[in-house]
Amino acid sequence: MCGRFALTISPTVLARLFQLADTPSLSPRYNIAPGQEVTAILNQEGQGRTCRLFSWGLIPTWAKDPAMGAKLINARAETVSEKPAFRESFKNKRCLIPADGFYEWHKKDKTSRPYFIRMQYNEPFAFAGLWQQWQSPDQQTRKTCAILTIHANSLLEPIHPRMPVIIPPENYDLWLDTTLSTTDRLQKLLHPYPPEKMNCFAVSPLVNSPQHDSPQCIEPVNPDTNHNTLFPS
């Protein structure tokens, strides 16, 4: 799954890398958690790519209770086109969710050790996201999102069996294209990211609490440890 991530780059860099029409107003965030607002990028007809803030945890249009969103922070890539909660969004409400890295916990015996996963050269990237607009009986509107996940690559598998789907820059336009009449081409984008392009390392248990949102969350607990020797026997 993907339950925490970070986005710390400047708004100017974000706008340049994702070719946004406008520069968003953002602050560095080191421990983004479900239920919080996340930055998402989508195509706005006639305006190009634009940033929006969505609550993390997708609420389907037919949901009677908005609390349902707390259970839908992730969508499995293998079944996203079939599940009633996600299939509409997969067809016409896709977004990119930018990040610097994400966290996962390695469970052994009765302990869990947090790890931070990022690109090999620390460059920002984008999760495959879905969004939806839900309206309450009293006409209040909430815009929410979920992150797609897939089985883990060889780097992440020792930590957790699943990982978020990462869309490479050359496929941004395709993922955001809402004019597609079929999702067959999209399904081909839903695969684990190449492990040789990623890196991971253990971080402080501070990240266990969403109340901690500081650079300390992404600092290696042992800066000299190679990512290939992170998993003690």
Q: Which residues contact 129 (CB under 8 A, 6 or more apart)?
A: 40, 94, 95, 96, 97, 145, 146, 147, 148
Are the C-beta atoms of 88 and 64 separated by less than 8 Å? Answer: no
Residue 138: the pLDDT is 82
User: Can you give the chain as a three-state secondary structure string?
Assistant: CCCCEEECCCHHHHHHHCCECCCCCCCCEEEECCCCEEEEEEEECCCEEEEEEEEECCCCCCCCCHHHHHHCCEEECCCCCCCCCCHHHHHHCEEEEEECEEEEEEEECCEEEEEEEEECCCCCEEEEEEEEEEECCCCCEEEEEEEEEEECCCCCCCCCCEEECECCHHHHHHHHCCCCCCCHHHHCCCCCCCHHHEEEEEECHHHHCCCCCCHHHHCECCCCCCHHHCCCC
Residue 48: the pLDDT is 87
**Tens digits of residue pLDDT in 200-209:** 999 999 999 9
Are the C-beta atoms of 131 and 55 separated by less than 8 Å? Answer: no
Are the C-beta atoms of 129 and 145 separated by less than 8 Å? Answer: yes
Residue 223: the pLDDT is 56
Ordered by where they begin, the domains of the chain are 5-229 (3.90.1680.10)
**Distance between first and last Cα of the chain:** 24
Are the C-beta atoms of 146 and 86 separated by less than 8 Å? Answer: yes
Residue 145: the pLDDT is 98
Q: pTM for the complete prediction? A: 0.93
Residues of the chain under the 50 pLDDT cut: 226-233
Residue 115: Cβ within 10 Å count? 24
Q: CA–CA separation, 131 vs 163, rounded Å?
A: 19
Tell me which residues are annotated as active site.
2, 104
